[in-house]
Amino acid sequence: MTNKKIYDFIIVGGGIVGVSTALTLIKQNPSKKILLLEKEKSFAHHQTGHNSGVIHAGVYYEPGSLKAEFCREGLKETIAFCNTHGIPYEQCGKLLVATNDIELQRMDKLFDRCKANNIEAEILNQEKLHEIEPNVFGIGAILVKSTGIVDYTLITQKMSEQFESLGGEFLLNSKVTNLDENKEGIQVITSNETLSSKYLICCAGLMADRVAKLLNIKINFQIIPFRGEYFRLKEKHNSLVKHLIYPIPDPDLPFLGVHLTKMIDGTITVGPNAVLGFKREGYGMFNFSLRDTIQFLSFKGFYQVVKKNLKSGLYEIKNSIFKRGYLKEVQKYSPQIKLNDLVPYPAGIRAQAVLEDGTLVHDFLFAESERSIHVCNAPSPAATSAIPIGKYITEKASKAYKSLT
Ligand SMILES: Cc1cc2nc3c(=O)[nH]c(=O)nc-3n(C[C@H](O)[C@H](O)[C@H](O)COP(=O)(O)OP(=O)(O)OC[C@H]3O[C@@H](n4cnc5c(N)ncnc54)[C@H](O)[C@@H]3O)c2cc1C
């Protein structure tokens, strides 16, 4: 290799997954040279800084999946991290509220899922629900007390400080534009310079597929951006609910449904919905990228997703355009919220990996080359699960590194 500075590990992506990985990696490999690259001017600029801030308990996930395992572990580890570093959080608990008979039946199945995932949960009848949440309408609910709220940007910043204090290096405003893997290592070409690393870890969120393709890794998915649009409730409603209020999800739909989320700053958000985004990292409603749009339009998996989810997709678009439709979703369980109670709040964009046959990948997904590992799908609850994911990647990367050197 011709470059002066050769790193043992370079990590691409300064969201919570990349930063958590960097921290675990340096803790376990204190003598190694480790560099973290982020293209934006600060960490947590994309999904990590645009989410609901929920520390999930792991109610919904397929028992035995990485998601279920990482989420259960992640809740404990996130809270331990907050306690150690004085980061505010609150375990306010979550209520999954059934508003009709069909949802009541689904609720029973969801309760079985809680048991299968070893999550402490209890069923509440209508009276009990009314007693603890007088402003919520429902005919039954599941209460999960361990669910919490936090600011994931704060956690990511604290992790980056820890990483630096242990000798890790990072470069902001440093976009990886090309990669070249050879027998000795990987050349990492950024917007500013060329770097070299013996091993590369990519946690590039909405750009995961593009970064993997820079190494010609054969992947059978594409990232499709799904906007998650929110409103905030007017401040006079900040005490409307004590818990996070979620609908009982329709098992045929890929996302959880609009919920009321207490935020750690004391406000309450409503959302997110799920609508197709026309720009991967564009948060404004009318943001559009020709490259991003052409890319999903030329992907056959996109048409399968449209075919499979046409009805729900159109419904989501309608509610995105007409606030009144969005409101109706919330009024199912919180009828006193009125149209003018919903004030604008920034959207988030989910990096959703979609397979060529149109399957939305629900679990975490990784791809590897000899000298690299790529996080290809890290959907919610990846913020909750970032510490266990970081440990998982560190184990894989450290093993691969040893076998190569
Ligand atoms: C609307 C919404 C609500 C959510 N709510 C929750 C929740 O309540 N609880 C929960 O646990 N999870 C939630 N999630 C999921 C969670 O936010 C994400 O799963 C998690 O933040 C993913 O982290 P990440 O580090 O993989 O990605 P990101 O945070 O997107 O970070 C990826 C980083 O890689 C950088 N990058 C990309 N390409 C390059 C390049 N070429 N060179 C250098 N850097 C690059 C990007 O700039 C970015 O900073 C939510 C997500 C959304 C969108």
Domains of the chain with bracketed CATH = 6-47+153-220+363-404 (3.50.50.60)
Tell me, in angstroms, the distance from the centre of ligand 1 to residue 203's CA. 9
Tell me, in angstroms, the distance from the centre of ligand 1 to residue 204's CA. 8
Q: Is the preceding omega at residue 272 within 30 degrees of 0, hence cis?
A: yes
Report whether 267 contacts 233 (CB < 8 A).
yes
Locate the ligand 1 atom nearest the alpha carbon of residue 43 and give its number: 49
How confident is the model at residue 376, as a pLDDT? Answer: 98
Max Cα–Cα distance, the chain, nearest Å:
72
Locate the ligand 1 atom nearest the alpha carbon of residue 226 and give its number: 53
CB of 271 shorter than 6 A to ligand 1? no
CB of 275 shorter than 6 A to ligand 1? no
Locate the ligand 1 atom nearest the alpha carbon of residue 49 and give its number: 29
CB of 277 shorter than 6 A to ligand 1? no
Tell me, in angstroms, the distance from the centre of ligand 1 to residue 246's CA. 22
CB of 78 shorter than 6 A to ligand 1? no
CB of 47 shorter than 6 A to ligand 1? yes
Q: Which residues pair with 122 in a beta bridge?
A: 143
Locate the ligand 1 atom nearest the alpha carbon of residue 190 and give its number: 42
Q: Measuring CA to CA, how many Å separate 360 from each of 294, 354, 374?
A: 19, 5, 18
Query: Atom 41 of ligand 1 has which residue's CA nearest to it?
Result: 176
Tell me, in angstroms, the distance from the centre of ligand 1 to residue 129's CA. 34
CB of 58 shorter than 6 A to ligand 1? no
Tell me, in angstroms, the distance from the centre of ligand 1 to residue 109's CA. 30
How confident is the model at residue 256, as a pLDDT? Answer: 85
Tell me, in angstroms, the distance from the centre of ligand 1 to residue 24's CA. 18
CB of 180 shorter than 6 A to ligand 1? no
How confident is the model at residue 87, as a pLDDT? Answer: 98
CB of 16 shorter than 6 A to ligand 1? yes
Q: Which amino acid is at 151?
A: D
CB of 94 shorter than 6 A to ligand 1? no
**pLDDT mean for each 10 residues of the chain (405 residues):** 77 98 98 98 98 96 94 98 98 97 96 96 98 97 98 98 98 98 96 97 98 96 97 97 95 84 97 95 95 97 94 90 91 94 97 96 96 97 98 98 93
Please write down the HEC assignment for all residues of the chain. Answer: CCCCCEEEEEEECCCHHHHHHHHHHHHHCCCCCEEEECCCCCCCCCHHHCCCCEECCCCCCCCCCHHHHHHHHHHHHHHHHHHHHCCCEECCCEEEEECCHHHHHHHHHHHHHHHHCCCCCEEEEHHHHHHHCCCCCCCEEEEECCCEEECHHHHHHHHHHHHHHCCCEEECCCCEEEEEECCCCEEEEECCCEEEEEEEEECCHHHHHHHHHHCCCCCCEEEEEEEEEEEEECHHHCCCCCCEEEECCCCCCCCCCCEEEECCCCCEEEECCCEECCCCCCCCCCCCCHHHHHHHHCCHHHHHHHHHCHHHHHHHHHHHHCHHHHHHHHHCCCCCCCHHHEEEEEEEEEEEEEECCCCECCCCEEEEECCEEEEEECCCCCCCCHHHHHHHHHHHHHHHHHHHC
How confident is the model at residue 253, as a pLDDT? Answer: 77
How confident is the model at residue 328, as a pLDDT? Answer: 92
